[in-house]
Structure 1
Amino acid sequence: MLSKLSRLSVFALMSAVVMAFHPAKAATQTPAVPAWLEKHIGTGEGQIAPVVLERARALYYEKRRNGDIKNACYLAMDATRPSTRSNGAPSGRFYYICESSRVFRAVSSGYGNGRKLQKAKFSNGRQCAQHFSNAEGSKLTMGGAYLTAESRTSFKGYYTEAGRKTPFYRTFLLFDGEGETNNARERAIGGHEAVFLRWQCRMKKPESPHADKEGFVPYGRLVNYTGGRSNGCTTWSPEESRAVLALVEGNPTSLYIYPEGRDIKAVAKSARGGRLPSSSGLYWNASCLQEIGAPKFWPKRKLQPIINEWRRSLPKQPPIELPICD
Structure 2
Amino acid sequence: MQENCPVLLNALRPAFAVMFMTVLSGSPPTPAAAQSTNIPAWLQKHVGTGDGQIAPVVLERARELYQRKYRRGEVRNPCYLAKDATRPSMSVGKPGRRFYIICEASKTFRAVSSGYGNGRKLQRANFSNGRQCARNFSNAEGSKLTMGGAYVTAETRTSFKGYHRQSGKRVPFYRTFLLFDGEGDTQNARERAIGGHPAVFLKWQCRFRNPGSPHADDEGYVPYGKLVDYTSGRSNGCTTWSQTASREILALVEDNPTTLYIYPESGDINAVAKAVQKGRSLSRSGLYWNAACLEAIRSPKFWPKRTLQPIINEWRRSLPKQPPLVLPICR
In structure 1, what is the equivalent of residue 33 of structure 2?
A: 9
Counterpart Cα distance in 2 of 1:205 and 1:11: 62
- Whole-angstrom CA distance in 2 between matches of 1:3 and 1:128: 23
CA contact (8 A) 2:129 2:135 kept: yes
Distance 2:35 2:206 in 1: 54
Using the alignment, how far apart are the partners of 2:73 and 2:269 within structure 1?
Answer: 31
For residue 172 of structure 2, the aligned residue among 154, 167, 180 is: 167
The match for 2:232 among 227, 236, 261 is 227
1:42 equivalent among 43, 48, 61? 48
What is the CA–CA distance in structure 2 between the aligned matches of 1:264 and 1:154, rounded to whole Å?
35
5+ residue gaps, structure 2, are: 1-22
Match status 1:119 vs 2:124: yes
Q: Give 1:11 deviation, angstroms.
A: 8.1
| 2:195 is aligned with 1:190 | yes
Q: Is the 8 A contact 1:7 1:42 kept in 2?
A: no
Q: Is the 8 A contact 1:11 1:51 kept in 2?
A: no
**Displacement of 1:275 after TM fit?**
2.4
- Residues 291 and 3 of structure 1, relative CA distance in 2, 3 Å threshold: closer
Q: Is the 8 A contact 2:154 2:180 kept in 1?
A: yes
Write out the 4+ residue segments of structure 1 that deviate beyond 2 Å after TM superposition.
Answer: 1-12
Aligned-partner Cα distance in 2 for 1:11–1:92:
25
Question: Is contact 2:115–2:232 with CA below 8 Å preserved after alignment?
Answer: yes
Alignment pair present for 1:239 and 2:276: no
Matched letter for residue 144 of structure 2? K
Corresponding residue for residue 68 of structure 1: 74
Task: Go from structure 1 to structure 2 and tell me whether the alpha carbon gap of 1:305 and 1:46 turns closer, same or farther (over 3 Å shift).
Answer: same
Instruction: Indicate the residue corresponding to 1:145 in structure 2.
Output: 150
- How many angstroms apart in 1 are the aligned matches of 2:286 and 2:72? 30
CA deviation map 1:171-229 (0-9, x unaligned): 00000000000000000000000000000001111111111111100000000000310
Structure 1 gap segments, 5+ residues each: 16-31
Q: Is the 8 A contact 2:79 2:103 kept in 1?
A: yes
Aligned residue among 51, 61, 71 for 1:55: 61
Q: Secondary structure at the match of 1:277?
A: coil
Amino acid at match of 2:30: S
Write out per-residue CA displacement over residues 116-136 of structure 1, whole angstroms, 9 at most, x where no aligned residue.
001110000000000000000
Aligned partners of 1:275, 1:144: CA distance in 2, in Å? Answer: 25
Which residue of structure 1 lines up, in the alignment, with residue 96 of structure 2?
91
Query: Which one-letter code corresponds to 1:6 in the other structure?
Result: T
Does structure 2 retain, via aligned residues, the 8 Å contact 1:190–1:233?
Answer: yes
2: distance between equivalents of 1:118 and 1:175?
Answer: 31
TM-score normalized with structure 2 length: 0.90
Q: Which residue of 2 aligns with 1:154?
A: 159
**Closer, same or farther: CA 174–220 of 1 in aligned 2, 3 Å:** same
- How well do the aligned residues superpose, as a CA RMSD in angstroms? 1.4
In the alignment, residue 200 of structure 2 is paired with which amino acid? V
Residue 150 of structure 1 and its aligned partner are, at CA, apart by: 0.1
Q: Percent identity?
A: 71
Q: Does 1:135 align with 2:160?
A: no
Structure-2 separation of matches of 1:318 and 1:160: 28
Pair 301,189 (structure 1): closer, same or farther in 2 beyond 3 Å? same
Q: Tell me whether 1:259 sits opposite 2:264 in the alignment.
A: yes
Per-residue deviation, 1:277:
1.4
Q: Distance in 1 between matches of 2:101 and 2:247?
A: 13
Deviations 1:39-89 (A, max 9, x none): 000011000000000000000000001110000000000000000012x10
Shift in CA distance, 11/222, structure 1 to aligned 2, threshold 3 Å: farther
Helix, strand or coil at the partner of 1:278 = coil
Larger RCO, structure (CA 8 Å, separation 6 or more): 2
Q: Secondary structure at the match of 1:140?
A: coil
Aligned residues: 307
1:315 corresponds to: 320
Task: Return closer, same or farther for 1:7/1:291 CA change in 2, 3 Å cut-off.
Answer: farther
Q: Is the 8 A contact 1:4 1:39 kept in 2?
A: no
Q: CA deviation at 1:3?
A: 6.0
Matching residue of 1:302: 307
Shift of 1:33: 1.2
